[in-house]
Amino acid sequence: MDVLDFIDSPDIRTYYENRTFTPAEQAVLCMKSNLRSYDEKVAFVATLLEAYPDSDFPLEDFDDTWDIRSDLQRMVIDWQMNGPAKDEEYIDVVYVTYMKFLDSRDEYGDRCIFSTYRKAYEALQASKEEMLDEMDSPVCACIIKEWVDHPEKRITYTLNEDLQIIKTSSFWEDYEFDVPAPFQKGDILLAAEERYAPTASYNEDAFFCVAGERTLHNEEKALVFARFLRDGLHWLCGHEFRLRLRNVTEDDAVPKEIEELAKAIRSDEISFPEKEFPRKPQDDHELPF
C-alpha cells in the first residue's frame, strides 16, 4: 500500500502523485486518514520502520524534542500487545460507548458501560442500522477503555460507520507538517467521506466549506476555509482536515448559502482575519454579504 492511499482527498492524491515524502511525513499522513482502518495504518507504519534506518527519521523533521521513530515503534508494539484483539475482562477496566457527530464533539444518545471491548462492539453493531436511519448527518462511534481506579488513564478508539477503528487517542495529534492543497480562493469543497452528498436539501451538518486566503506575518498566503454552522460563520484552519477535502462536482447538491459565500470570497466582499484567527468572526446568523 502506498502513502497516497492514506490521503482521503482524491484531489490532493492526484496533486501529489509525483512528490516524494520522507518516511516521517508518510507516517503522519498515514495516521491522519479517516477512511483507512487503524490496522492498515499500523501495518503501513511497520513497513516504514522495517524499510528505513534511524537516520531517515531525523528529529528536525518536526520538532527537535520529539523522537518520531521511537513513537512509531511504541505505537506498533502497543497495538500488538494491548489493542482490542487482546480483549479480556478485568475487574479494574470498563469500556464506555457513545456516538458523536463527525467533525464535532456533540454526542448522540446515551453512554453505555461494558466489561469487555467485544461486548461494547457488539452493542454498537446491534444499534448501528437503527442509529444511521435516524441520523441525517455523518456520525462515528467511540469506545473508551477506562481504568476504574485511575480515571486519568484511558484510551479512546474512534470507529467509522463500518465500525472499523480508524483512530486512537495518542500523540499523533501533535504531529503535522505543511501540505499545500491544490485549492483556490472561492473553491467550494466537501469532505471526502461525506456519505450524505449529494443531498436533496441543505444539510448544515454536511461538511461543505469554501476556500479562502489570509496573509501571514511573513506576508505569505495561507489557505483557510469558511463554513456555515448553527451559530454562524466559522473560519477553519488546519492541516489534518484539509487532507480530506475535495472539490464538489455537478452531482453534489451545493447549498445556496455556500454558493453565495463562495461568490463573496472570490469578489473580496469577505476579508479573512490576517493576524488573529477567531473561531467565530460574528455572533449572529446574518450572512456577511
pLDDT digits (tens, 9 = 90+) for 104-150: 566 767 888 998 888 999 888 887 776 666 555 556 788 888 888 88
Rg (CA), the chain: 21
d(CA 141, CA 222): 33
Letter string b/e over residues 84-119, b meaning 16 or more CB atoms within 10 A of that residue's CB: beebeeeeebbbbbebbebbeeeebeeeeebebbee
Q: pLDDT (tens digit, 9 = 90+) per residue, 172-186?
A: 656 777 777 899 999
Q: Is the whole-model pTM more than 0.85? A: no
Q: Are 258 and 228 in contact (CB under 8 A)?
A: yes
Cell numbers at residue 127, please?
444499534
Q: What is the mean pLDDT of each run of 10 residues along the chain (289 residues)?
A: 91 92 89 88 94 78 66 87 73 81 66 89 81 60 86 82 82 68 90 52 62 74 75 67 85 86 87 50 36
Amino acid occupying residue 94: V
Tell which residue, 77, 76, 57, 75, has the closest CA to residue 67. Answer: 57
Q: Are 145 and 154 in contact (CB under 8 A)?
A: yes
Domain boundaries, the chain: 3-82, 87-170, 188-266
